[in-house]
Chains A and B, each alone.
Chain A
């Protein structure tokens, strides 16, 4: 009977501890995703600044420089733009952010900022594009800095909370 209780307690603590690790991993993944996004947007800036590359081509070029979810997102944007079905760039961009980035660790605010980037892309002249991208890079850099500043504390907190919650539940059950 005691052995059963011990096994049960271990399982509870392991599972809640696992949850703590899972949430701390999401935090780390978000930083990785933000860094990748930052890199891609810098490349997009280069494409527009240096070669005035049109958006469908630039987005396609970006897709070749990344993989995973972002590649799928960029390819989806390129494909939708290529269809020429009467939708604006902003509409297509926002739609793909909502549909194709579900499996990333970006949070709601990150996705909102990325959606807003599409609002002014393609509008007016090259200077406008560069300013829009610069604004986005500043915002994403701010998010990245905040996330990196707090990641160590939060990871420790989540791990601890996970284990403590397990112990707490075990005590109540016993």
Chain B
């Protein structure tokens, strides 16, 4: 349930007034886009709309409220709590996580120093992506990633193209395992949340429910975070999002050799896609992962298409007719 007031706090006074007067179901609101000297837009129920000055959603661009430099400046002040310096790392990555777990993407003039992105100034484009945690979306997959007696969890790789809900699924899997839902007993889960997407921590407090036995390293590089968690928090399961780099793979091998179970996500369309990846492919060929969950969004976001075991045997297939 999205808290409307909590979300609207980040907007300038004028935008706040406009957005609060529109009759919207915030459960279906996906994005709010602010671009300098361009119409205020929202993505609502998978459709793009302009927001009119008469507090309505419209298709007519000429009726739309136009965003000024001042609106962007004021909104950025509120997003950053008057303290852009406190979000230097986030700005370098191009986003800030706000209360409620929503993701604010920003773009503008990038300042580069020694071939590294130092910061972004003249921020002129803001995209507020609303976080929607879907409790229960992992009900289908949890029986497949646990052994028959539900005591053992398998190393699992979630494979999905962007915007298909892999992080949403990972989040719910973590919640299930941590709370002991669908498995014999709850297990300690360590989450390395490099981009604050899984737990969406705001001032250290997870905004999404990840279960009662979950420890989170927020904004921490995945490879370092996995090692740190193993040494400090003794997790039984480690969960990470969007693996792929050489350092990630080395850390994964370390995790697996330490007796921890791993649940990770990766961008891709199929197991074969992953096999062809230069570094991650080796782990697949060595049958390190015991379960593969392949997702797509042809039916709806968060749709699980197929589940395979380590040898490539199909364990589940969605019978949705294309």
Contact = CB atoms under 8 A, between A and B. Distances in A.
Contact of A54 (B12, B74, B86): B86
B153 to A, nearest CB: 36
A48 B9 contact: no
B85 A125 contact: yes
A122 B12 contact: no
Interface in B62-81: 74, 77-78, 80-81
Interface stretch (A24-32, A82-90, A98-106, A109-117): A82-90
How many chain A residues sit at the interface, stated as a range, is 20 to 34
Contact of B84 (A53, A56, A81, A124): A124
Nearest to B10: A84
A127 B81 CA distance: 18
A57 interface: yes
Given A54-B80, A57-B203, A125-B119, A86 B85 contact: no
Nearest to A125: B85
A89 B85 CA distance: 14
B119 A53 contact: no
Given A84-B9, A86-B12, A86-B13, A52 B85 contact: yes
Contact of A122 (B9, B74, B83): B83
Nearest to B85: A126
Contact of B81 (A48, A55, A129): A55
B85 A57 contact: no
B82 interface: yes
A42 interface: no
A123 to B, nearest CB: 8
Interface of B: 9, 12-13, 74, 77-78, 80-86, 88, 119, 203
Given A55-B83, A85-B13, 5 more contacts: A54-B81, A86-B12, A122-B85, A125-B84, A128-B85
